[in-house]
Amino acid sequence: MEHLQLRITSIRQETAESKTFVVEEINKRNIEYKAGQFVTLLVTLNNKEIRRSYSISSTPGVDNDFFFTIKRIENGELSRFLFDELKVGDIIISLPPSGRFIIEKPESEVAVFIAAGSGITPVFSLIKHLLHNFPRTKVLLINQNHSEKNSIFRNDLFLLKEKFKLNFSLTEIFSQPEDYKKPSQRLNNNLLERILLQHITNSSVKFYLCGPESFMRMAQFTLKVMKYSQDFIRRENFFATAPPPPLMTDKTPHRVTIYYHNKKYNIEVAYPQNILEVALKHHIQLPFSCRGGRCSTCTARCTSGSVKMTINDVLTPTDLQEGLILTCVSYPETDLELTFTPAGMEEKIL
């Protein structure tokens, strides 16, 4: 996967702890991406490469510039470095945009976004995409934050609400509101159900969740209780830790044939090592980011054989039916053949 060299052209302070970085490819080449995707930055700190994914907040066809947003995490080594040290003119290295938290075209008459904190970042991109390109789709955003000043893109969302009065509804929830007239509350099962019953009268609806893990679990549980199919719920995860390997009795090595960047590689993978882990040890530079099965950067298509995945919070049932797997949490059950592209799927090239 060819790396991008991105030059920072401007920096916007969104909140006290979040910044948007406007970048361009150093050779002025167009950066192809889809609303809702992310970039994976490759930064060397203390002689160690660190990879972190940050959501793209711009929207192709809507925004002239390409930009992503970073929230400073107090115990986040890389976010602190990027937030505090990056300046206009600096060049950063990135993998091409990727991610499956996207909307090619609306699959429902109503799109409901449930976000918390910096979870608004990919949601903001997707909302702009829908409002500008699909005027028949109604959009509802339920946005949880600590306070008004901590709400990323708040002014931009108000502008969208004014421009798309008939299509866009915004419900703000603050745990510590600055406006004393507003209630202090957090989104919970009962509140979420009340909001949805108030706003949704059409059964053709799809949900998009982004925020802390506990927040998304609460929302997903509420939707399940309200009898919404899990097939119509998509979620985007920001944080992931490598899960332990699944329980498997077969520990014999399996042959894995990989077609990547016009080359063919053969490796043997045996439990408890996963496919990505072994490929990297053989110096096959497959794409990856979170290594926790939650970002989709490492997606491949399994054209022959089968794997067992420890976790999957990103691939849909349709993706799985089409043979897509996450190599960072996949363990061969048989001999395999895998194909890749920068976007995750590639026709086999011999």
Per-residue pLDDT, averaged over 84-110, amounts to 93
C-alpha count within 13 angstroms, C-beta hemisphere, residue 157: 24
The class (CATH top level) of 254-339 is alpha beta
Strands lying side by side in the sheet with 336-339: 263-269, 254-260, 336-339, 299-304, 324-326
Mean pLDDT of the chain: 91
Question: Chain centroid to CA 346: how far?
Answer: 21
Lowest mean pLDDT segment, chosen from 24-28, 75-79, 132-136, 260-264: 75-79
State how beta strands 233-236 and 205-210 pair: parallel
Which pLDDT does position 344 carry in this prediction?
38
pLDDT at 342 over 60: no
- Judge whether 183 and 144 are in contact, CB under 8 Å: no
Per-residue pLDDT, averaged over 331-339, amounts to 96
Please tell me which residue, 2 or 342, carries the higher pLDDT value: 2
Question: Chain centroid to CA 273: how far?
Answer: 25
Sequence ranges of the domains in the chain: 4-97, 110-236, 254-339
Predicted confidence band at 38 (pLDDT cuts at 50, 70, 90)? very high
- Cβ contacts of 145 within 8 Å, gap of 6 or more: 116, 117, 151, 152, 172, 173, 174, 175
- The 10s digit of each residue's pLDDT in 264-281 is 999 999 999 999 999 999
Q: What is the third-level CATH fold of 110-236?
A: Rossmann fold (3.40.50)
Inter-CA distances, 219 with 4, 209, 249, Å: 36, 8, 36
Superfamily for 4-97? Translation factors (2.40.30.10)
Q: For tokens 């703000």, name the residue.
A: 172
Q: How far apart are CA 104 and CA 287, in angstroms?
A: 23
State how beta strands 4-15 and 18-25 pair: antiparallel
Per-residue pLDDT, averaged over 67-82, amounts to 89
Q: How many CB atoms lie within 10 A of CB 204?
A: 13
Per-residue pLDDT, averaged over 328-350, amounts to 71
- The 10s digit of each residue's pLDDT in 170-214 is 999 999 999 888 899 999 999 999 999 999 987 799 999 999 999
Lowest mean pLDDT segment, chosen from 65-69, 220-224, 259-263, 342-346: 342-346
Q: For tokens 């991105």, name the residue.
A: 6
- The 10s digit of each residue's pLDDT in 138-157 is 999 999 999 999 999 999 99
4-97 against 110-236: fold identical: no
Residues belonging to the chain = 350
pLDDT at 231 over 90: no
End-to-end CA distance of the chain: 17
